[in-house]
Amino acid sequence: TIVVRTGIVIKKNKRNGRKQAQHIKIMNAIRDIEHPDGEWRNKDGRPDKSQIVVDWRMAHPDGTKAECIRETGLSKPTVYSWWKKIDWVELRSSMNRENMVQLSGADQQQAAQKVVVIVERIAKERGISEEEAYKMFLKGEY
């Protein structure tokens, strides 16, 4: 047993002779009395890690993914996933006609070149036409 091997004393869970089903009903009733509005539930789910990546990137515009991973403590797949999605969201929003008008000529050209590269990559990866890839890009269905 754990007590013999480690010397750690573990108290036995007590249900006072009740079967598990009956014990659960009693515990649920107590919970509902203590939290009548269902406050004990987290209805929002687990917080999204994208905001952590966004905040870090805003604070470190020239930072790398590796630095972001080290400084935030997020996993590599998480940072890579959100990094890519954030790039695409920013690029898609810059393609908005009103935003393009606010950009200088050189910035417009640079944004357009980025879109062309991404659309070509989507088309190549999926084996579809560039027109279809562009529509996917605009809808965010990459």
pLDDT (tens digit, 9 = 90+) per residue, 2-24? Answer: 788 888 888 877 888 889 999 99
Q: Which of 9, 10, 27, 7 is nearest to 19 (CA)?
A: 27
Task: Kindly list the domain boundaries of the chain, sorted by start residue.
Answer: 2-34, 50-139
- pLDDT confidence bin for 56, thresholds 50/70/90: confident
- 85 Cβ partners below 8 Å, 6+ apart? 50
Neighbours of 133 (CB within 10 A): 21
| 76, 98 Cβ separation under 8 angstroms | no
Question: Cα 142 to chain center, whole Å?
Answer: 16
Q: What pLDDT, in 10s, does the model give residues 99-120?
A: 544 555 666 667 667 777 777 8
**Total-model pTM:** 0.39
- At 90 the pLDDT is 59
